[in-house]
A = this chain, B = another copy of it.
Amino acid sequence: MRADARRNYDHLVATARAVFAEEGPQASLNEVARRAKVGPGTLYRHFPTRQALLVAVFRERIERLCALAEQSGSAPAGEALTGWLRALLVHAQTDGGLAAGMADDPGFDCHARLIGAATGLLDRAGQAGAVRDGVEVEDLFQLVTGIAMTAPKDRGERLLMLALEGVLADGPRRPGPSRA
């Protein structure tokens, strides 16, 4: 990769981060190019799709989340899982586009990495008996991203807790979500 290309690439990512933060994930890519003082062609050559740009922008944060999952080996399994899911929620809320991205394209690199991180935590929690039987990683992701997309920011955490602890109150738990 040529030096000027690298420069443009980095500058575009930084600019896009700012623009997405201001205007949300559906912000105009033209605007990104304009602010980065770069032609549209340059932007689209580096990032053929909006997704590609989104991923580049959030990659760092995603990796931090993965690292967080690995570090939380000391905490009790259940708390480690819920704590991480809360971090994931905050992330998905901040970078609304990522939630959409994860939902849109299941065969995604960043999606796979997050799934991997979550799998470890869920397995551990499962072995500790802290999680209802039959819960899958995808369940957790879809709940978190769904909450991030529709709920106002200040209600996200409340909703996550509700989903984790359950809405219904019918005493002893049934074996699992058997209707699925």
Contacts and interface: CB of A to CB of B under 8 A. Distances in A.
Given A146-B147, A147-B143, A151-B142, A132 B167 contact: yes
B103 A170 contact: no
Contacts of A129: 169
A93 to B, nearest CB: 12
A36 interface: no
Contacts of A157: 179-180
Interface string A116-159: 00000000000001111101001110110111111100010111
Interface of A: 78, 82, 99, 103, 129-133, 135, 138-140, 142-143, 145-151, 155, 157-159, 161-170, 173-174, 177, 179-180
B78 A170 contact: yes
Contacts of A164: 166-168
11 contacts: A139-B162, A142-B151, A142-B155, A145-B146, A146-B151, A149-B150, A158-B177, A158-B180, A163-B167, A165-B173, A166-B167
B162 A179 contact: no
A117 to B, nearest CB: 17
Contacts of A147: 142-143, 146
A142 B159 contact: yes
A109 to B, nearest CB: 19
Given A131-B169, A143-B162, 10 more contacts: A139-B162, A142-B159, A143-B147, A146-B151, A146-B159, A149-B150, A157-B179, A158-B177, A161-B179, A166-B167
Contact of A162 (B78, B135, B170): B135
